[in-house]
């Protein structure tokens, strides 16, 4: 998805959490305690060492004032002072930490050296902290606790298959299947939708418009009408998306009404999406509001779309859903998640996964975003 500033020029961003390859463009409680990554491993090893010690030596704690000497008989019960036991426990704990550190280092080394899986440092860290949603920005790594009571993602990553050309398919299971879906804007230029249909693509989400992040003007995508008319004529089912830079609920209503007015003449059977991203411009109007205010903006937009009889949906990347929005306030709405890898990294329920910005589809000159729509 591409977004444009008030001069209708394409902008380049480096939105944190997007995992976009270098040089690409993009239109952007209950607390859990933090833990040392070695803590679980060390605790288990230390506990098992102490338990084994207790079973084999039958520890009896006696007064430190009159410590008896250990018996030399093999069948005799051995006695240890309180200080001796505490020293043994501390030694076991240290041994467990050493073993835990070694095992952790081995795990990291193996994962990073597996060139076939192209594992990154971020991948390894995510694997170590499944109870957090991790994103990285200029200030470092951020660990956002996963809300335990929100609906979870049930998509099985082991059922994803990557072809030689980079396309990804999903082997249906437990009633879950996935269809290929593209999303387009004026960036794709003139599209031959008949060729797109003949290539096997049956679903498309088309940009209807955007709000300039500087001027705040609401503008129609130059190719929206030709895209939606020709896509429907070719036989595709379509949805639409709008790139938001609303800073309050009034502007969210304005954006929703703009979308509804422009899609009214067409059969929009797929979701109507609000695209929430972080422009790489500190002065961008949408970057100036709080997480709470942005959440209210998105909720207002979705409510307006739903009241009109359409299916609302929220688009974003890891940074969007971890840092920009409150998932607890928006859990009733479907999610379109952008993450450019060969697996899905999102703990909550989701519906569409944008896995590439570099797909090649007959009928489209250049690259196009490719998605899997889980049904």
Q: What is the pLDDT of residues 256-315, one digit of tens each?
A: 999 999 999 999 999 999 999 999 898 999 999 999 999 999 999 999 999 999 999 999
Contacts of 302 (CB under 8 A, 6+ apart): 274, 312, 314, 330, 333
pLDDT score for 99? 66
Distances (CA, A) of 100 to 107, 109, 202, 218: 10, 14, 50, 56
Contact 150, 334 (CB under 8 A): no
Contact 374, 178 (CB under 8 A): yes
Of residues 40 and 135, the one with the higher pLDDT is 135
Of residues 282 and 361, the one with the higher pLDDT is 361
Residue 100: how many CB atoms within 10 A of its CB? 21
Contacts of 122 (CB under 8 A, 6+ apart): 19, 134, 136
Going by pLDDT thresholds of 50, 70 and 90, the confidence category of residue 352 is: very high
Helices (H) and strands (E) in the chain, counts: 9, 15
87 three-class SS = helix
Of residues 252 and 115, the one with the higher pLDDT is 252
pLDDT score for 138? 82
**pLDDT(201) > 90:** yes
Span of 94-103, 156-165, 304-313 with lowest mean pLDDT: 94-103
| Euclidean distance between CA atoms 153 and 211, whole angstroms | 31
CATH of the domain spanning 150-374, picked from 1.10.3720.10, 3.40.640.10, 3.40.50.2020, 3.20.20.80: 3.20.20.80
| Euclidean distance between CA atoms 135 and 302, whole angstroms | 25
Burial of residue 124, with CB atoms counted within 10 A of its CB: 0-12 exposed, 13-18 middle, 19 or more buried: middle
Contacts of 160 (CB under 8 A, 6+ apart): 168, 169, 170, 342, 343, 344
Burial of residue 253, with CB atoms counted within 10 A of its CB: 0-12 exposed, 13-18 middle, 19 or more buried: middle
**pLDDT(44) > 70:** no
**pLDDT(64) > 60:** no
How far is C-alpha 81 from the geometric centre of its chain's CA atoms? Answer: 53
pLDDT score for 122? 84
Tell me, yes or no, if the pTM score tops 0.95.
Answer: no
Tokens 């929220």 belong to 314
pLDDT score for 104? 74
Of residues 97 and 334, the one with the higher pLDDT is 334
pLDDT score for 328? 96
pLDDT score for 276? 98
Span of 45-54, 177-186, 236-245, 250-259 with lowest mean pLDDT: 45-54
pLDDT score for 113? 75
**What is the average pLDDT score of the chain?**
82
Tokens 């928006």 belong to 330
- Token representation of residue 329: 């306030």
Instruction: Give the residue-averaged pLDDT of 192-196.
Output: 98
Tokens 């480096």 belong to 14
């Amino acid at each position: 998805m591409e977004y444009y500033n008030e001069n209708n020029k394409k902008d380049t961003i480096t939105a944190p959490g997007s995992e976009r390859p270098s040089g690409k463009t993009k239109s952007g409680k209950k607390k859990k305690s933090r833990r040392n990554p070695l803590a679980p491993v060390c605790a288990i090893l230390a506990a098992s060492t102490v338990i084994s010690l207790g079973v084999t030596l039958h520890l009896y704690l006696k007064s430190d004032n009159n410590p008896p000497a250990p018996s030399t008989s093999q069948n005799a019960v051995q006695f240890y002072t309180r200080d001796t036991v505490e020293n043994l426990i501390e030694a076991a704990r240290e041994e467990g930490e050493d073993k835990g550190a070694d095992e952790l280092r081995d795990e990291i080394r193996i994962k990073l050296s597996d060139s076939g899986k192209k594992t990154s440092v971020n991948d390894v860290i995510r694997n170590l902290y499944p109870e957090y949603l991790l994103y990285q920005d200029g200030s470092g790594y951020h660990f956002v606790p996963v809300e335990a009571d929100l609906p979870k993602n049930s998509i099985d990553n082991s059922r994803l298959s990557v072809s030689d050309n980079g396309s990804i398919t999903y082997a249906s299971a437990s009633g879950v299947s996935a269809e290929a879906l593209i999303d387009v804007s004026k960036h794709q230029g003139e599209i031959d939708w008949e060729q797109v249909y003949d290539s096997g693509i049956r679903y498309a989400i088309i940009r209807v418009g955007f709000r300039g992040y500087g001027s705040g003007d609401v503008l129609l995508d130059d190719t929206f009408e030709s895209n939606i008319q020709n896509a429907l004529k070719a036989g595709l089912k379509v949805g639409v998306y709008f790139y938001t830079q609303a800073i309050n609920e009034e502007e969210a209503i304005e954006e929703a009404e703009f979308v509804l007015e422009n899609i009214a003449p067409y059969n929009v059977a797929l979701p109507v999406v609000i695209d929430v991203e972080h422009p790489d411009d500190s002065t961008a109007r949408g970057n100036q509001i709080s997480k709470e205010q942005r959440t209210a903006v998105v909720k207002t937009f979705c409510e307006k779309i739903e009241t009109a009889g359409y299916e609302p949906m929220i688009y974003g990347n890891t940074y969007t859903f971890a840092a920009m929005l409150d998932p607890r306030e928006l859990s009733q709405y479907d999610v379109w998640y952008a993450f450019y890898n060969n697996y899905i990294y999102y703990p909550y329920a989701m519906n569409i996964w944008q896995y590439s910005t570099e797909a090649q589809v007959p009928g489209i000159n250049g690259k196009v975003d490719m998605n899997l729509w889980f049904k």
